[in-house]
Amino acid sequence: MDLAAQRQLLGVTAVGLWLALVVGGALLLRRRWPEQKEWSRKLVHIGSGAVVPLAWVFGIDRAIALAAALTATLLTSLNHRFRLLGAIEDVGRPSYGTIAYGASISLLLALFWPQQPAAVAAGVLVMALGDGMAGLLGAGFRSPGWNLWGQRKSLLGTATMATTSLAVLVGLAACVGTATGGASPTLSALVGIALVATLLEQVAVAGLDNFSVPVVTGLLWSTLSPAA
């Protein structure tokens, strides 16, 4: 086995072990705190975002990455239908969020991998960390809120989404510049992307923001990067 194949195998193994750890942690959370159904789901939501940086670091091929994302989307669809792993899906409300999340990652990979991995990472990490932390803090602490199409949104959750998204984008831009010397959107453009992502997160009917936020964020990153 040559070095390139070894690196691919190592990357796939690292991603698989990480996902197993995340799912295992979600199952333990559900067993320890069964009344907090959102915690285990958010752990999967946040933790799964790390697969794109891992795939980037190991240089996983487009065919492998896309096949893995499509397989994950299929598995989440089956889990949504049959509730095989309640720690991932059972949140007590109609939601296609896990399916939409997998579909968004698949689309971003199809559009940008491996030529623009930063665009894929931007979309996935904003959704994983921004939306994930907004859901946890917004639901865990009381603050003024409002309802949009049957979905409650809070001031704290929305502020968390905006600030975390911007922090993710700025951090990613810094990493891209340091590690590869590549071009990224300007700071003002990053602020605009974070605001757009925050507005899209407000429209969370049936969890479909899990598709709109990553895809639009990735598209904006690609479009607003000087090298695009």
pLDDT in tens, 203-218: 888 788 999 999 999 9
pLDDT, mean of residues 20-31: 90
Would you state the pLDDT for residue 60?
95
The secondary element (H helix, E strand) that includes residue 147 is strand 145-148
User: Which of 76-85, 132-141, 163-172 is predicted most confidently?
Assistant: 163-172
Torsion of CA 110, 211, 223, 50, to 10 degrees: -70
Rounded (10°) CA dihedral 116, 117, 120, 126: -120
Q: Check residue 90 and give its pLDDT.
A: 55
Does the reported pTM lie above 0.85? yes
Average pLDDT over residues 75-97: 66
CB–CB of 106/73 below 8 Å? yes
- Mean of the per-residue pLDDT values for the chain? 88
Per-residue confidence at 88, pLDDT binned at 50, 70, 90?
Answer: low
Residue of 150, 198, 185 whose CA lies nearest to 216: 198
Given the DSSP bridges, would you call strands 151-154 and 145-148 parallel, antiparallel or unpaired?
antiparallel
Confidence of residue 120 (pLDDT cuts 50, 70, 90): very high
Question: Is 176 a residue whose pLDDT tops 70?
Answer: yes
Helix (H, G, I), strand (E, B) or coil at 85: coil
Residue 104 DSSP one-character state: H
Which amino acid is it at 88?
I
- When pLDDT is cut at 50, 70 and 90, the band that residue 152 belongs to is confident
Q: For residues 132 and 101, what is the distance between their CA atoms, to the nearest angstrom?
A: 12
153 and 123 in contact (C-beta within 8 Å)? Answer: no
Q: Span 141-151, mean pLDDT? A: 83
**Of 62 and 148, more confident:** 62
86 pLDDT higher than 60:
no
Q: CA 95, CA 204: separation in Å to the nearest integer? A: 9
pLDDT given at position 83: 65
Instruction: Report the pLDDT averaged over residues 54-61.
Output: 95
Q: Is the pLDDT of residue 93 over 60?
A: no
pLDDT exceeds cutoff 60 at 87: no
